[in-house]
Structure 1
């Protein structure tokens, strides 16, 4: 009967830890249970063992082995420190000396894992707050009571798992799939009507372009979310949207997810407008808003967040932000703006089954002020209105389409605003030559070859300009220089005609 009483106490002890102390059950069988106290720092794990111990040699060996087991748990959960406790429930303590196991055991000198051990025998079980089974019960009654305890514990474990699982699977990622289809369709449209890497095509179909936004085309702050620059950009953003967007939509539901997505996307676009002068497109701001929504979930369910996805989310987020700061071509303003926007939007919509509160109105006001403040800064930040290199790129694309009159103002602004590269004066000289402004073209080409003496195309064009100005000696000298640098057939033909 004594062993059955201790069996009852074993299950009563676990029942008390689960229902009274709120411990989480990690492993459970009829002889051993692993419980976690999530409310303390460092994290505490309790290993409850039901065994009748004869000699202390077995006990010492088991304690030593348990230290390694506790340390493996610490590493799996990526914890800095862990406190482990062995609780042995036995009818009697070992017959020989065993008291030295009461001292703490450490995994290493750094003491990241500390393990304590204790024995609860027949006498000690009567001294604890957990009442043992009365001695008047029969074997059948004790077995039934043990069975009832097991059932209650198992039911509590299932309910907790179901409750936590429901937080991750509230909705279905319907909107995520529709968004993926929409960005793929717009990429196809761009490719069929120019190319997705063409600045002119991107501007035509709604990319973020600061001068036109300042002229009243505010809708570009939304349409830019559906455009992508090149297949790699589309692929990477689609992959991120599939995983991050799908996770957020499952957790928040479709309607809440769409609000988070578009508020974050708008915040990212406005931040890009405020801090980045380049033509921009992509769903990156909205995708970083999904990171913000996951961080919001972490503030509400901190323990669950860090036990499941938390550390992976933070690592991926930090890597992306570092990558954005390391490479200037990445629009980190849109990324950070979208991250903050998604975090604020999550406070507005809240998680499903959450009662409406005044805090939602407060965060709605904060979000509106945040977006409007970014837009206002973008309006007064004149350095971000235009970029000489962007003007040059647009002008070059117009030249490739033989739209000289449209290209000319962009090329002129690029030179006037200080695009300090020889291509700027070279392209403007080409446009001036098309307008038969040969003196202006000559001056610009002389500046070009002064900046880059090995620019053979500039020497060739300069030779043609000298021919138009009837300065043949200068023309021969220029074409000779071009041939010396790069003897193309066209250069050789011109040189032969001039001779």
Structure 2
């Protein structure tokens, strides 16, 4: 009956490690169980085998085969380093020498997986608690009948399975608290706003975006603080809309499942406002998009990781960190991306998650602290945006707005923006070129001439500037200068009929 007694001891060891020591059951077969100690650093995986080992050769073959399995498990769990433990529960030790097998086996040259081997005999277990490396295993319990052994094994096995299933349910519930309902409402609102903007000027029109509520610093300073929210529902072009909607669908859906609809809404809007405030503080461009709120979802996932660190890294942690890092690097390297809104949204989402906390978790004082910190941070960003003199109006933005006003034939509105573009971006020949056009329309030909000469000095191959300069010279009665300018325009762009017509008008004027 020794073998049956040791069968019961095998289950007693598994029961002790899972129920009393908090090990996680990875897999279990008839006579083999794999357990994980999530508290250990580096991570430890324990393989418990119930086998009566007769010969050292069999033991060696099994150890060598297990090393590959431990290495595969390390990769699946995405661990940098793994300690594997083979624990054999055998009635007797091998009849031949096996002590050399107790030395560690290494899976690869980098020594990322190291496997140790121990063997617990019936005699050792009967003598009291068994020390195996860093583990202390319980002593075996003497039983008087096969029926008692079978009943004990059944009870131990049932408790092990129930504990493992209960833990799995609890962990799954952390990811499935709510259902993703509000995410569809938000996506619908974003789509409707995109359609409205497209129908009223286009989503790439700066003036249209400003009209519909994009983040535009001068108007925010004048009191239109609602733009910090409205900008979250606008997008610039279809690609921007598509990429943000896709990211929001997956990230926002995951956060709404984990936090529930109410908490998700708080996280979404605080992160969005935080991102808009950061953009207001550091970025002078017109900005729109749900990027801040999307990065807030990253912040919510990171907050989950601080509460359930081991579960986070065992499931989605490394993927989340990789994608987040990739997005932040991309934002830093691409000039037109509003990285301030991204980082602000990330921080805001983390703070907002700390305010609402995870469902079914005890309330804590740090929730109040997170709320105070969030209010102070948003207020600080808005205050800094008001006083940040380095955040001067962008020459490019002023030029865009002025050009759009010109296209709408609103010279009075275009003029100050074109002046601003010239003052803030003298290295942009398009700015003085368009300002010269506006000056000419107002009859200020001398000012227009000087501006066009400046344009040609900056970029000598700007054929439109030579043509416009020829027109200005004609208005000023300087025919020879007009002829020279239009000839230069024809040299640069010989296939332009307007240039030829003007040349003929100058050289062969009507009688």
Q: TM bucket by the smaller chain?
A: over 0.9
Q: Which moved more, 1:399-408 or 1:71-80?
A: 71-80
Q: Which residue does 2:308 correspond to in 1?
A: 301
The answer to whether residue 261 in structure 2 is matched with residue 261 in structure 1 is no
The answer to whether residue 20 in structure 2 is matched with residue 20 in structure 1 is yes
Contact 2:56 2:98 in 1 (8 A): yes
Contact 2:415 2:438 in 1 (8 A): yes
SS of structure 1 residue aligned to 2:49: strand
Q: Which residue does 1:390 correspond to in 2?
A: 397
- Which one of 410, 419, 424 corresponds to residue 417 of structure 1? 424
How far did 1:367 drift?
0.7
Structure 2 CA distance for partners of 1:186 and 1:419, relative to 1, 3 Å = farther
How far did 1:127 drift?
2.8
Q: Which residue does 2:140 correspond to in 1?
A: 132
Contact 2:293 2:349 in 1 (8 A): yes
Cα distance between partner residues in 2 of 1:12 and 1:357: 38
SS of structure 2 residue aligned to 1:60: helix
- Which one of 399, 414, 421 corresponds to residue 407 of structure 1? 414
The answer to whether residue 45 in structure 2 is matched with residue 38 in structure 1 is no
Encode CA deviations 1:274-321: one digit per residue, 9 max, x unaligned.
Answer: 000000000111111111111110000000000000000001111111
Gaps of 5+ in 1: none
Cα distance between partner residues in 1 of 2:423 and 2:88: 83
TM-score, normalisation: structure 2: 0.96
Contact 1:190 1:196 in 2 (8 A): yes
Encode CA deviations 1:190-235: one digit per residue, 9 max, x unaligned.
Answer: 1110110110010000000001100111110110000000111111
The answer to whether residue 158 in structure 2 is matched with residue 154 in structure 1 is no
TM-score, normalisation: structure 1: 0.98
SS of structure 1 residue aligned to 2:468: helix
Cα distance between partner residues in 2 of 1:464 and 1:109: 77
Q: Which residue does 1:492 correspond to in 2?
A: 500
Q: Which residue does 1:108 correspond to in 2?
A: 108
Cα distance between partner residues in 1 of 2:341 and 2:488: 47
SS of structure 2 residue aligned to 1:353: coil
Q: Which moved more, 1:488-497 or 1:200-209?
A: 488-497
How far did 1:429 drift?
0.6
Structure 2 CA distance for partners of 1:180 and 1:419, relative to 1, 3 Å = farther
Contact 2:271 2:349 in 1 (8 A): yes
Q: Which residue does 1:374 correspond to in 2?
A: 381
SS of structure 1 residue aligned to 2:390: helix
Cα distance between partner residues in 2 of 1:175 and 1:293: 16
Q: Which moved more, 1:69-78 or 1:148-157?
A: 69-78
For residues 167-316 of structure 1, the aligned pairs below 5 Å read: 167-316=174-323
Cα distance between partner residues in 1 of 2:317 and 2:119: 36
Alpha-carbon RMSD: 1.1
The answer to whether residue 89 in structure 2 is matched with residue 89 in structure 1 is yes
Contact 2:104 2:114 in 1 (8 A): yes
Contact 1:285 1:339 in 2 (8 A): yes
How far did 1:135 drift?
3.6
Contact 1:211 1:385 in 2 (8 A): no
Cα distance between partner residues in 2 of 1:82 and 1:466: 81
Q: Which residue does 2:61 correspond to in 1?
A: 61
Contact 1:389 1:419 in 2 (8 A): no
Encode CA deviations 1:53-90: one digit per residue, 9 max, x unaligned.
Answer: 12110001111111121111112222121111101111
Gaps of 5+ in 2: 130-137
Contact 1:80 1:112 in 2 (8 A): yes
Q: Which residue does 1:76 correspond to in 2?
A: 76
Cα distance between partner residues in 2 of 1:361 and 1:81: 39
Number of aligned residues: 498
Contact 1:260 1:346 in 2 (8 A): yes
How far did 1:469 drift?
1.4
Cα distance between partner residues in 2 of 1:67 and 1:441: 81
